[in-house]
Amino acid sequence: MHEESPTELLLLSENAELRTRLEGAEETLRAIRNGEVDAFVIESAAGPRVYTLQGVDAASNRLRGEILAQVSDAVIAIDGQQRVTYANAAAERQYGIGASWALGQLLSKVYETQWLPGAKAAAETALHERGEWRGENIHVRLDGRKLHVESSVTVLRETVDQSAGVLAVIRDISGRKEVEDKVRVSEIRYRRIFEAAQDGVLLLDPDTCRITDANPFMTELLGYSHDQLVGKELFEIGLLKDEGASLKMLQKLKTEHQVRYENLPLKSQRGRHQEVEVVANLYDENGRAVIQCNIRDITERKRVEEHNKMLMAEVNHRSMNLLAVVQAVAQQTARVGDPITFVGRLFDRIDGLAASQDLLVKNEWLGVDVADLVEVQLAHFKDLIGTRVLLDGGLPARLTPAAAQGIGMALHELATNAGKYGALSNSEGRVQISWTVSAGNKPTFLMSWLEHGGPKVAPPTRKGFGQMVIGRMVEAAVDGTAEIDYRESGFSWKLSAPFAAALQMGRVASSAGDARG
């Protein structure tokens, strides 16, 4: 045996060291091969580095990662401390974030969750009990934009009892929600219009010609219930006279898409007759043909039209009649005096007629209060009313239109005469105008015109228009009697008439019926 040199010793030592390392490496490889190592840490200049060893699973995990990156729904995973451990490309887009920033962030930094009423508790229970939850809520992004989302959340468990985090697949359904909202609002709006419409609306199936829906107004209009209406044809509910008419409408609808019937007489279930206007439209409802009929009750409109027509005719009739009265007054006025006096007198009398007419119209042809009539016919002497012209009406009395016209003309003649020859022709004479109703079994309207303090009175030498008006004309107008006295101390005129002939009974009178002519 020979002495080993120092070089030989060093080599031997190195050899032993390498053997030990090799044995260690061989042990590591064996452990790796046997699946005893998941990862190992290698110390490097940059610090320790972890290398995981996943073998075949690594390839499938890469594939899963690529799929997750491609899907359009956002996928986010968090750990037990609510920190983001994964976010796919769709999540980056959906929340406007970068995945590198998000990883390790608290989830609440990525978006704020606003729960729909009751949803939070339900979600917590579901996750706890079943390990998954699916539902809708609102996510508010960092920039404040609100997203309506539908989430599918699964708990990731490493061991049975230890929660390792959750994985959420989140779909932005804001666009769909908006459309749904619009559809819902539109549905509510049109439903409300349909329900509340003051027109009847019927929907029909063009193939069977039968009613498929009717709004509440329609059931009210016809007196049939909704159930009774559905399934019926139009002629069965009295809207069209027979099946033939129904077919005719359908034919016309197919070519013109709209049919309009005006003034269709309609007999309701309760036997009420109404005039209706029907507009039928044929249109396409999502690929299905529908007939919509709008039925409008025009009974009231027709009635108003008829009433207006009647009123116009009545106005015309009254105008003609009044012109005939003016013509008669002109003829009578022309009997005495020269042309110049004639024109003055005629104009005065037309003024009197106009004043009474005005009052009648103001009172809607329902009669005129005596006090008002006296006031307008004594308009020339209005300054004397209360001093030299005293009015004494015991109670408000309302003259019929015919009595008002007759008494109005008489008052006009009385006032004219008083001003020309009687108590109002000097500076101190007085006129007392009174009216009352005497009770008893024959109630009588009494009116008087008494003059005092005027020039000495003498009866007229000839009977003129004025005498006719305050005498037989007014008598005829009120079916009464007029007493005329040309007493020297003062002229007097007393009219008495049956209550019913002179005064309006109550305030209601037929508007057309009282016209003369």
In terms of CB distance, is 249 or 473 closer to other proteins?
473
Query: Rg (Cα) of the chain, in Å, rounded?
Result: 54
Residues that bind other proteins (CB under 8 A): 313, 316-321, 323-329, 331-332, 402, 406, 409, 468-469, 472-474, 476-477, 479, 510, 512-517
E strand segments, 256-401: 258-267, 273-285, 288-297, 368-369, 389-393, 398-399
Distance CA 496, CA 436 (A): 10
Minimum distance, C-beta of residue 418 to other proteins, in the bound complex (Å): 21
In terms of CB distance, is 406 or 454 closer to other proteins?
406
Minimum distance, C-beta of residue 223 to other proteins, in the bound complex (Å): 34
Distance CA 383, CA 386 (A): 8
Minimum distance, C-beta of residue 479 to other proteins, in the bound complex (Å): 8
CB atoms within 10 A of CB 243: 13
Minimum distance, C-beta of residue 441 to other proteins, in the bound complex (Å): 23
Question: Taking Cα atoms as reference points, which of 346, 374, 386, 350 lies closest to residue 449?
Answer: 374
In terms of CB distance, is 125 or 316 closer to other proteins?
316
CB atoms within 10 A of CB 408: 24
Distance CA 489, CA 454 (A): 8
Question: Taking Cα atoms as reference points, which of 57, 23, 66, 21 lies closest to residue 39?
Answer: 57
Minimum distance, C-beta of residue 386 to other proteins, in the bound complex (Å): 31
Minimum distance, C-beta of residue 516 to other proteins, in the bound complex (Å): 5
Question: Taking Cα atoms as reference points, which of 76, 96, 93, 73 lies closest to residue 144?
Answer: 96
Minimum distance, C-beta of residue 265 to other proteins, in the bound complex (Å): 21
Q: What are phi and psi of 105, to 5 degrees?
A: -75, 155
> 131's torsion region: left (phi>0), alpha (psi -120 to 50) or beta?
left
Please check whether residue 119 is in contact with residue 136, taking contact to mean a CB–CB distance below 8 angstroms. Answer: yes
How far is CA 42 from its chain centroid?
80
Minimum distance, C-beta of residue 326 to other proteins, in the bound complex (Å): 8
In terms of CB distance, is 20 or 316 closer to other proteins?
316
Residue type, 401: P
At 250, list the tokens.
Answer: 């359908």
In terms of CB distance, is 389 or 482 closer to other proteins?
482
In terms of CB distance, is 29 or 323 closer to other proteins?
323
In terms of CB distance, is 453 or 498 closer to other proteins?
498
In terms of CB distance, is 239 or 329 closer to other proteins?
329
Question: Taking Cα atoms as reference points, which of 277, 503, 470 lies closest to residue 403?
Answer: 503
In terms of CB distance, is 471 or 490 closer to other proteins?
471
Minimum distance, C-beta of residue 348 to other proteins, in the bound complex (Å): 15
Q: What are phi and psi of 69, to 5 degrees?
A: -70, -30
